[in-house]
């Protein structure tokens, strides 16, 4: 996406954010990825993870404009929740300038904060569970949602889990969407007690997958598609086609270095995401 002449100034481009990956590299990534990343980021309330000294230094989440931020990053409050927001590719570079390595979005837009436009199930496995079990879980969630008449999409989280994302038509409010997410999670736990739990307690997650439905409320966020993670390898939350969600899937291969080439050479796996008209009943 083209940038205007008011492109934010990027200081110290040689500063390391990840081992072998510089601030300048992150800026180049966002320049290459702006056109595919911004539809899920622009004009959407955000929380950010900042790592001023890179991934090996201190880090902190930020939702408030605690200090002076670049002009391309706005701030506000909706439904009693503070947030930050960007509008265009300049905002992505401004985030790079302040070492915001991770961008986490609401499941609603700034324009219509009371009606979610997506629902996210975060499949978060216990440390002792192989990734193939997460793949199996994602398909179970997909099939359950399809039985309810809902089309869903999958992405890596840049970590150990997967997200199952349901586009919504902004008819239902937060309460109904949150109730649906909770009801779905409980139904999946009841149907597959050896695989799922619906509680974040660490003890309960031994050899199980926490189906995190709590991402679906005002102020709650999930990592945005194409956002890097402040993790070893500079992994990226990457949208997938369902056929890619198979036992051979290795989420660690999708990184700040590899994802631009994937996007440039392969069809968009979520190409019909914006065409889906559906909502929870």
* Domain range annotation of the chain: 1-113+220-234, 114-217+238-270
Element (DSSP H or E) covering residue 137? helix 131-147
Please tell me the CATH superfamily of domain 1-113+220-234, with its number: DNA primase, PRIM domain (3.90.920.10)
The two tokens of residue 106 are: 């609401």
Residues 91-140 have pLDDT tens digits of 999 999 999 999 999 999 999 999 999 999 999 999 889 999 999 999 99
Q: Which H, E and C letters describe 112-136, residue by residue?
A: CCCCCCEEEEEEEECCCCCHHHHHH
Backbone angles phi, psi at 68, to 5 degrees: -65, 125
Degrees, nearest 5: CA angle 116-122-128 = 170
pLDDT at 2: 46
pTM flag (> 0.85): yes
The CATH fold assigned to 114-217+238-270 is DNA primase, PRIM domain (3.90.920)
- The residues, any chain, with a CB within 8 Å of residue 90's CB and separated by 6 or more, are 3, 4, 6, 7, 8, 72
Element (DSSP H or E) covering residue 250? none
The two tokens of residue 7 are: 């492109």
Rounded percentage of the chain residues whose pLDDT exceeds 90:
91
pLDDT bin (cut points 50, 70, 90) of residue 200 is confident
Q: Do domains 1-113+220-234 and 114-217+238-270 have the same CATH topology?
A: yes
Beginning with the edge strand found earlier in the chain, give each strand of the sheet holding 162-167 in spatial order: 196-197, 209-212, 118-125, 162-167, 153-156, 239-240
How many CA atoms does the CB half-sphere of 133 hold within 13 Å?
Answer: 19
Residues 228-256 have pLDDT tens digits of 999 999 999 999 999 999 999 999 999 99
């Amino acid at each position: 996406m083209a940038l205007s002449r008011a492109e934010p100034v990027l200081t110290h481009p040689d500063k390391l954010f990840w081992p072998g990956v510089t601030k300048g590299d992150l800026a180049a990534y966002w320049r290459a990825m702006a056109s595919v990343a911004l539809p899920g980021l622009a004009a959407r309330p955000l929380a950010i993870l900042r790592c001023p000294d890179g991934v090996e230094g201190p880090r902190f989440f930020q939702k408030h404009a605690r200090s002076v931020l670049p002009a391309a990053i706005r701030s506000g409050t909706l439904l009693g929740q503070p947030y930050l927001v960007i509008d265009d590719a300049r905002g992505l570079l401004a985030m790079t300038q302040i070492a915001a390595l991770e961008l986490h979005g609401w499941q609603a837009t700034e324009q219509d904060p009371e009606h979610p436009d997506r629902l996210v199930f975060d499949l978060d496995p216990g440390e002792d569970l192989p990734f193939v079990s997460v793949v199996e879980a994602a398909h179970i969630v997909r099939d359950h949602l399809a039985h309810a008449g809902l089309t869903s999409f999958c992405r890596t989280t840049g970590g150990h889990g997967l997200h199952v994302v349901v586009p919504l038509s902004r008819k239902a409010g937060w309460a109904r969407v949150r109730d649906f997410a909770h009801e779905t999670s409980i139904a999946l736990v009841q149907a597959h007690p050896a695989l799922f739990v619906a509680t974040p307690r660490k003890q309960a997650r031994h050899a199980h997958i926490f189906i995190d439905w709590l991402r679906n409320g005002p102020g709650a966020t999930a990592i945005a598609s194409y956002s890097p993670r402040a993790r070893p390898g500079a992994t990226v939350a990457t949208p997938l086609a369902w056929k890619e969600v198979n036992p051979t899937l290795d989420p660690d291969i999708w990184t700040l270095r590899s994802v631009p080439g994937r996007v440039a050479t392969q069809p968009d796996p979520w190409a019909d995401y914006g065409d889906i008209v559906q909502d929870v009943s």
